[in-house]
Amino acid sequence: MVEQDDRLSRVFAALADPTRRDMVTRLAAGDATVSELAAPYDVSLQAVSKHLKVLEEAGLVRRSRDAQRRPVHLDAEVFDLMTKWIERYRQQAEARYRRLDQVLARMQGEHTAHGRRARARRRSSRMSTSSTAPEVLIEADPDVPTVRIVREFDAPRELVFRAHVEPELVTQWLGPDSVGMAIDLWDIRTGGAYRYTALRDGAEIAHFYGAVHRVDENERIVQTFGFEEMPDAVSLDTMVFVALPGDRTRLEALSVVYDFESRAGMLASGMEVGITEGYAALDRLLASLSGDAE
């Protein structure tokens, strides 16, 4: 697993350069020699060879001998590895947001009888099949080191917002099943801060912290996210809560990191496990709360 994560990190780092991405695009149409690859660029053959060496070390391309030519061609195996990794991360994020849906459903117990009937229909739909769950959009921009996540919820944005700022709710769903959450500080307001410790079997295994730059109630949270065990992977996170018709909400989250290497390290760190299992716990919590309210 570590070897695979290292390989993915090399692949994402190699593709961070626009010239190398353009080379990969051209090689997708067919094999080419170094001279043919260098033709469109105002750089030396030596510079192109250096780019190809980075792509080779990442496993993206290979060179072979064909008579007097040494064509370069893409290695399809590494693209299959990238596709599987991205799909796994997408599924885990989607599962996490399903858990948040359940928490919000419980909080809606105070709403009208029409709202309660709508929640009952949603719960029935979730129990019968997972394919009806709202889709989550995850984008890793190829040109800037960001990760964007978009998800819609069948709950008013006031409730979605509360689920992110009230510690007694957050502690019930955030993080993987095998890890507990001990909050040292949770002050989600403009100028506030947060810090918490991840525990496994009573032992401290990770420490997370951040500064809250701006909070517009029910609309937006802007904060940093830091991980003591990976100090170079600090991100600036913006969460926007958009009210939709029918008492629904779209959550748009954007994380910006310092460079592509830092982003690759964050994505390959196993954070998807916490996303998947944490939102599964939130699903259970929301279902329980919805039952109590009715």
Does 148 share its domain with 276?
yes
Q: Which residues of 191-214 are buried (b: 16+ CB within 10 A; e: fewer)?
A: ebbbbbbbbeeeeeebebbbebee
Does 190 share its domain with 277?
yes
pLDDT at 239: 95
pLDDT at 95: 73
pLDDT tens-digit series, residues 246-291: 888 888 989 999 888 888 877 776 666 676 676 667 666 665 655 5
Does 41 share its domain with 101?
no
pLDDT at 252: 93
pLDDT tens-digit series, residues 89-100: 777 777 777 777
Q: How far are the Cα atoms of 100, 123, 128, 283 from residue 103, in angstroms, in the given order?
A: 5, 12, 19, 6
Q: Which residue has the higher pLDDT, 165 or 249?
A: 165
Does 241 share its domain with 175?
yes
Count of domains forming the chain = 2
Does 59 share its domain with 133?
no
Share of the chain above pLDDT 70, in %: 78
- The answer on pLDDT for 63 being more than 70 is yes
- The answer on pLDDT for 123 being more than 80 is no
Domain range for residue 44?
A: 2-74
pLDDT tens-digit series, residues 178-229: 888 999 999 999 999 999 999 888 899 889 999 999 999 999 999 999 988 8
- Mean of the pLDDT values across residues 64-88? 78
- The answer on pLDDT for 114 being more than 50 is no
Does 99 share its domain with 224?
yes
Model pTM score: 0.53
- Mean of the pLDDT values across residues 62-75? 78
Beta strands (DSSP E) in 120-270 are: 136-140, 146-153, 180-187, 193-200, 203-216, 220-227, 235-244, 248-257
pLDDT at 287: 59
Does 132 share its domain with 272?
yes
- Taking alpha carbons only, the member of 138, 147, 133, 64 closest to residue 99 is 133
Does 236 share its domain with 115?
yes
